[in-house]
Amino acid sequence: MEEHLYRRAETLPLPPDAGEDIRVAADFFLPGVHPENLLFYDTETTGLSGGAGTIAFLLGFAALEGDRIAATQFFLTDFPGEPDLLAAAAGEQAGKSHMLSYNGRSFDAPLLRTRLVMNRLPPELPAQFDLLFPARRLWRRILPDCRLETLESRILGRGRTGDVPGSEIPGLYFDFLARGNPEPMGAVVRHNREDVLSLVHLFVHLGKIIRDPLRAGRVDAASLGSMLLPRHARKGLSLLLRAAGEGDPRALRSLSAFYKRNRMWGEAERLWRAAPEGDEYSRVELAKLCEHRLGALDEALAITDGLLDRPGPADGKAGLLRRKDRLERKLRRLRG
């Protein structure tokens, strides 16, 4: 490599059946994209808040080659080598349609574009897909946080030993520049390697969940069902019905929206009638159905009166009062 750039490369086997899970995940999140056009990446930087003065000194990449993971890292030993680092990164990105990261859309990608501009290099990067977003959707309600390290230990079963905290990495790099002691950088390189490999394993796990939600393990069933519903309606409906039966109001609302959008009024009626009596959303939807679809004006009025009798702020009942007035007028007309 160049004078101020160190390259490390290795090839690792994918876990058994991971290839199929990756294909499923790619088809679900990035339709039409072949897995070998994906590039997983992570950066280690001189600061954690971004900004024009923050530099990426370590870039880790992982690409899929058949049933293998080709992992490459580039380490900047001094700032004059930054153009070479960015050029090496461009070489890894060549031919890839998407870069996958964890919080990369907010941090890594903008930082890399800034450094490319400041080095008078083309700032184009492949399209970005941030795994943080599906992770938050599936696990933020059941885990203490959605840091990658938390997902590793609680979901992926990839616990780390002797890992360096990410918050210490900028200081360790500046100490390396000042003292020239490479030993702490070994831990930083290992940290970056584990981050990148965990991205691959997380993508595999997402594919496993999509392929067979019953293998999902710990996951927010309502969120998973809502996520699957547009592409895999049967799987999504099964999860949402289970979550709704357990009293999750988010599942009930997702199911309601699906039934209404598809004009499945019988299914919608059964859902709203089976909902807990205290579920105001379902009672309101049932009143609407009785009024506009079933012609059951008396029942619609009884439901509306019941909702108005419940304690609550007056300004929150304006819509119910309008419905009550409309229903009473309709009934008077019908009865002469």
Distances (CA, A) of 45 to 118, 129, 149, 190: 16, 20, 18, 15
Mean pLDDT of the chain: 94
Q: Closest Cα partner for 51 from 118, 96, 149?
A: 118
Task: State the Cα–Cα distance between residues 331 and 336, nearest whole angstrom.
Answer: 9
Q: C-alpha 31: how far from its chain's center?
A: 16
Task: State the Cα–Cα distance between residues 79 and 186, nearest whole angstrom.
Answer: 19
pLDDT range class, residue 77, cuts 50, 70, 90: very high
Task: State the Cα–Cα distance between residues 323 and 305, nearest whole angstrom.
Answer: 10
Q: Which residue has the tokens 């998973």?
A: 224
67 and 13 in one domain?
Answer: yes
In a domain, 234, yes or no: no
Burial of 309 (0-12, 13-18, 19+ CB in 10 A): exposed
Q: What is the pLDDT of residue 58?
A: 98
187 and 304 in one domain?
Answer: no
Phi, psi of 61 (to 5 degrees): -130, 150
In a domain, 241, yes or no: no
11 and 115 in one domain?
Answer: yes
The C-alpha torsion from 147 through 169 and 162 to 207, rounded to 10°, is 30
Q: Closest Cα partner for 240 from 253, 230, 148, 231?
A: 253
In a domain, 226, yes or no: no
In a domain, 242, yes or no: no
H-state helical runs in the chain? 18-29, 82-93, 109-118, 132-139, 148-151, 169-179, 183-211, 221-228, 233-245, 249-261, 265-274, 280-289, 297-309, 318-334
pLDDT per position as a tens digit, 273-312: 999 888 999 999 999 999 999 999 999 999 999 999 998 8
23 and 138 in one domain?
Answer: yes
Residue range 155-181: average pLDDT?
Answer: 92
Burial of 226 (0-12, 13-18, 19+ CB in 10 A): buried
In a domain, 235, yes or no: no
183 and 121 in one domain?
Answer: yes
Cα radius of gyration (the chain): 27
Residue 297: give its domain's CATH number.
Answer: 1.25.40
185 and 323 in one domain?
Answer: no
206 and 254 in one domain?
Answer: no
259 and 204 in one domain?
Answer: no
Q: What is the pLDDT of residue 214?
A: 81
The greatest distance separating any two alpha carbons of the chain, rounded to the nearest whole angstrom, comes to 95
261 and 188 in one domain?
Answer: no
Phi, psi of 169 (to 5 degrees): -65, -45
pLDDT per position as a tens digit, 115-140: 999 999 999 999 999 999 999 999 99
Chosen domain end from 172, 189, 215: 215
36 and 149 in one domain?
Answer: yes
Q: Which long-range CB contacts under 8 A does 64-68 form with residues at least 24 apart?
A: 64/14, 64/22, 64/35, 64/36, 64/38, 64/200, 65/11, 65/36, 66/19, 67/13, 67/14, 67/18, 67/19, 68/11, 68/12, 68/13, 68/14
In a domain, 263, yes or no: yes
Q: Could you tell me the residue range of the domain that residue 95 belongs to?
A: 5-215
In a domain, 269, yes or no: yes
43 and 178 in one domain?
Answer: yes
145 and 37 in one domain?
Answer: yes
Buried-exposed string 120-159: b where 16+ CB fall within 10 A, e elsewhere: ebeeebbebbbbbebbbbbbeeebeebebbebbebbeeee
In a domain, 69, yes or no: yes
Q: Give the tokens for residue 185.
A: 């950088």
Residue 132: give its domain's CATH number.
Answer: 3.30.420.10
pLDDT per position as a tens digit, 51-60: 778 999 999 9
Q: Closest Cα partner for 256 from 243, 269, 274?
A: 269
Chosen domain end from 189, 215, 241: 215
Chosen domain end from 200, 215, 230: 215
**Above 70 in pLDDT, residue 1?**
no
pLDDT per position as a tens digit, 174-193: 999 999 888 889 999 999 99
Q: C-alpha 236: how far from its chain's center?
A: 17
- Structural domains of the chain, count: 2
Whole-model pTM? 0.91
